[in-house]
Amino acid sequence: MRYISTRGEAPVLSFSDVLLTGLAEDGGLYLPQTWPSLSPEEWHALRGLPYPELAARILSLFTGDDIDEATLRQLCAKAYAGFDHPAVVPVVQLENGLFVQELFHGPTLAFKDMAMQILGHLFEHVLSERDSHVTIVGATSGDTGSAAIEACRGRKRLSVIILHPKGRTSEVQRRQMTTVHEANVTNLAVEGTFDDCQDLVKACFADLTFRKDMHLSAVNSINWARIAAQIPYYVYAALNFGAPGQDVSFAVPTGNFGNILAAWAARKMGLPVSRLCVGSNRNDILTRFLNKNDMTMKDVVPSLSPSMDIQVSSNFERLLFELLDRDAAACARIMTSFRSSGHMDVPEQTWEKARTLFSGLALDDAQTEAEIRHLHQNSHYMADPHSAIGIAAGRKFRDKNSPMIAVATAHPAKFPDAMVAATGIHPALPEHLADLFSRKEYYETIPATADAVKNAVRTAVANTH
Ligand SMILES: *Cc1c(COP(=O)(O)O)cnc(C)c1O
């Protein structure tokens, strides 16, 4: 299996190289050169497998010769052993024809664990084969940082340095990062905003000597391996509802478009998916696109669902490339002008193609709170603000021919204030995090300068090895 860039000007790479590289050299995103495709008999044969086994089978279609299936089976078994539900990704019924699949039973209580946990193992495996190491530097406003730290903690070939804006993340989210005490984990509290943190990370990557010396790498959602690792739970849900003999639909609370792109990929591989619903908050660029072909950047407004507070959805580029029938030159042209003008010019027929499969619904904070209350009162279900938006989108677009499965992306205990406001109930943290507020925190406060970050990264790397 080989991977090509959506902008057509980067080297063709294998799975392991794509894993370590992340973003393509030409600024594009990597996609499989050809999509694996399963026959109805092959889908049928996957029914009933435990989640880690299924994940290994699906991932093996993407790793090609780089990692064999037996190794993948071991890595997936380890990756999902720490989840606190025996089904790993259980499905619950909410209403007639409307279901929720919970993706938040991992160590940090958000769906990012689904991919990050296996990515940690994949990195370790590939790096030990190459006898190499990498330094992961990332900025976080919440979920990504803790998922990356949990996935990499204690791994000798990985140093992980996460920048967060001091005093500007929720206390649960900060403590999930800062209470991890490992030689290879460094938390930097930056005296600045999330945007400052992102700029500082970019500055580290832009210094090519530093980048090379430190073996910098990224684990953000443009990494293809993260998308690949998100395909299995869509397959798992669909098979449980009777696929390949039964169609299903999915509704996904969406930010960077990585999660829902994995559902699209499952369909591309032959899984019978009839509709994909995007849920947005007031940062509704995708919903505006789907409803009116209006993909225009706006300033980010903070919301009850912070992990969906985005200006652009980076993974949309992968869908665009496919909708353009893989015309890399056209994709590069559209993306470059989008970056400079803030408006994406999507040809009318390409937009129509997107609409045959995707629908979008945006909820503001008041509607999100009302949806959380409604779910609690009517279905006795506690959905966090992100998940509630996905469920609302699923309800709007369900039809009687295919079960609608909304994915729940965070545990309600991650957003206690919103849950109390909507339901009066303060959801308890799961047992493994019950003492989170009494654990000691480890972090370093630094000014928002590139020199301070680079010094901290050098020290962190020296401490790991
Ligand atoms: C990251 C995240 C999302 C958005 O997922 P994308 O793949 O970026 O679309 C939604 N909900 C939660 C809780 C998240 O952490």
CATH code of 414's domain:
3.40.50.1100
Options 112, 353, 396, 454, the catalytic residue: 112
Give residues with Cβ within 8 angstroms of 324, minimum separation 6: 330, 331, 334, 350
Q: For ligand 1, atom 11, which residue shows the shortest CA distance?
A: 409
Distances in whole angstroms, Cα of residue 410 to Cα of each of 15, 203, 416: 29, 31, 12
Judge whether 445 lies within some domain.
Answer: no
pLDDT band at 48 (very low <50, low <70, confident <90, very high): very high
pLDDT band at 194 (very low <50, low <70, confident <90, very high): confident
Choosing from 111, 169, 264, 305 the residue with most ligand 1 atoms within 8 A of its CB, the one to mutate for a pocket test is 111
Angle value at C-alpha 345, between 343 and 351, nearest 5 degrees: 120
Please give the pLDDT value at position 346: 95
Which residue do the tokens 């993306």 mark? 335
Most confident of 17-26, 300-309, 451-460: 451-460
Cα–Cα nearest to 300, from 281, 283, 314: 283
What is the residue-averaged pLDDT of the chain?
A: 95
Judge whether 382 lies within some domain.
Answer: yes
Judge whether 444 lies within some domain.
Answer: no
Q: Which two tokens stand for residue 265?
A: 């990929």
Cα 55 versus chain centre, distance: 16
Q: Output the CA 219–ligand 1 centroid distance in Å.
A: 14
229-251 pLDDT per residue, tens = 999 999 999 999 999 999 999 99
Atom of ligand 1 nearest to the CA of 253: 10
Q: Output the CA 464–ligand 1 centroid distance in Å.
A: 30
Q: Output the CA 211–ligand 1 centroid distance in Å.
A: 28
Judge whether 149 lies within some domain.
Answer: no
Residues with CB under 6 A from ligand 1: 110-112, 143, 221, 253-259, 307-308, 386, 409-410
For helices 51-63 and 231-240, give the axis angle rounded to 10 degrees.
130
- Enclosing domain of residue 291: 91-107+224-423
pTM of the model: 0.95
Atom of ligand 1 nearest to the CA of 310: 8
pLDDT band at 27 (very low <50, low <70, confident <90, very high): confident
Would you give the end-to-end CA distance of the chain in angstroms? 33
Mean pLDDT of 206-235: 91
Angle value at C-alpha 181, between 117 and 415, nearest 5 degrees: 60
Please give the pLDDT value at position 208: 86
Judge whether 372 lies within some domain.
Answer: yes
112-171 pLDDT per residue, tens = 999 999 999 999 999 999 999 999 999 987 788 999 999 999 999 999 999 999 988 888
Q: Please confirm, yes or no, whether 112 is among the known catalytic residues.
A: yes
Judge whether 75 lies within some domain.
Answer: no
Task: Say how many domains are in the chain.
Answer: 1
Judge whether 419 lies within some domain.
Answer: yes
Contact yes or no for 254/289 (Cβ under 8 A): no
Please give the pLDDT value at position 146: 94
Judge whether 205 lies within some domain.
Answer: no
